Amino acid sequence: MSFELYKNKYEQKGYGVEYPDGHVIRFYERILKYKLNKTSGKLLDFGCGNGTHAKYFKDKGFKVFGADIVPSLQEKWNKNVGDDSKYFNIRNETKLEDIIDEKIDVIFANQSLYYLPKDILEQRLSSFYNICNENAIIFASMMSSKNYYYAHSSKSDGWFRSVKLDGRLKENCEIHFINTQKELEETFSLFKPLFVGDYDPINFYDFEGSAHHFIFIGQK
């Protein structure tokens, strides 16, 4: 996805959730809290958007950090996470190691990584590994080929598929789709898989189609 398209989605289309997604709440309640007994620590929300999910984790007891690429989001971060917005950064090519000087306990990357070119994704995953404490947890969601975006896509550069949507969404973007659980685990091979799952938050099959995503939860 180009910077201008992404920027336009936030600044002109009001992109970004106001309330935490259900699968995010389940990640905290079922995995972090119940399975792993992890209810505090330092959490990086990568591709944090307007900070809604960061605020959710802050309210649960985490010290939150954020990274995104749209300068105008700073005002929304100030509103959503208050004083912690000083730990939020506008970044594009900057390495995470250069802007985050504390070791992180949870990496949270919701619906953001599948827009990255292969070499950049590999760099980001390496950065995640480098800035994490031992035994840190990573949560990442990736769009699957069951998602209705795939039905509106065509081959692009071998990594991406070009997506063209009309109607309600009306956008053009490039996305890397994940086809299988094996491919998902290979993508995040730096981390030991703990839980692998999926979610489909819409299911309006007769309207637009499936919104299916894979979820990878792993540990350093």
Summarize pLDDT for 94-133 with one digit per residue, the tens: 789 988 989 999 999 999 999 899 999 999 999 999 999 9
Structural domain includes residue 193: yes
pLDDT band at 209 (very low <50, low <70, confident <90, very high): confident
Structural domain includes residue 151: no
Q: When comparing pLDDT for 90 and 16, which is higher?
A: 90
What's the confidence (pLDDT) of residue 23?
A: 93
Structural domain includes residue 165: no
What's the confidence (pLDDT) of residue 90?
A: 83
Structural domain includes residue 50: yes
What's the confidence (pLDDT) of residue 52?
A: 93
Q: When comparing pLDDT for 10 and 61, which is higher?
A: 61
Structural domain includes residue 162: no
The total of structural domains in the chain comes to 1
The CATH number of residue 93's host domain is: 3.40.50.150
Structural domain containing residue 72: 3-145+179-219
Q: When comparing pLDDT for 180 and 75, which is higher?
A: 180
Structural domain includes residue 202: yes
pLDDT band at 91 (very low <50, low <70, confident <90, very high): confident
DSSP state of 38: -
What's the confidence (pLDDT) of residue 113?
A: 94
Would the pLDDT of 40 be above 70?
Answer: yes
What's the confidence (pLDDT) of residue 207?
A: 56
Structural domain includes residue 104: yes
What's the confidence (pLDDT) of residue 206?
A: 53
Dump pLDDT digits (tens) for 142-192: 999 999 889 999 998 889 999 988 866 677 888 999 999 999 999 999 999
Contacts 24+ apart (CB under 8 A), 95-102: 95/123, 95/127, 96/44, 96/46, 96/67, 96/124, 96/127, 96/128, 96/130, 96/131, 97/127, 97/130, 97/131, 99/67, 100/44, 100/65, 100/67, 100/131, 102/42, 102/65
Smallest CA-to-CA distance from 139 within 105, 171, 163 is with: 105
pLDDT band at 17 (very low <50, low <70, confident <90, very high): low
Would the pLDDT of 77 be above 60?
Answer: yes
Structural domain includes residue 159: no
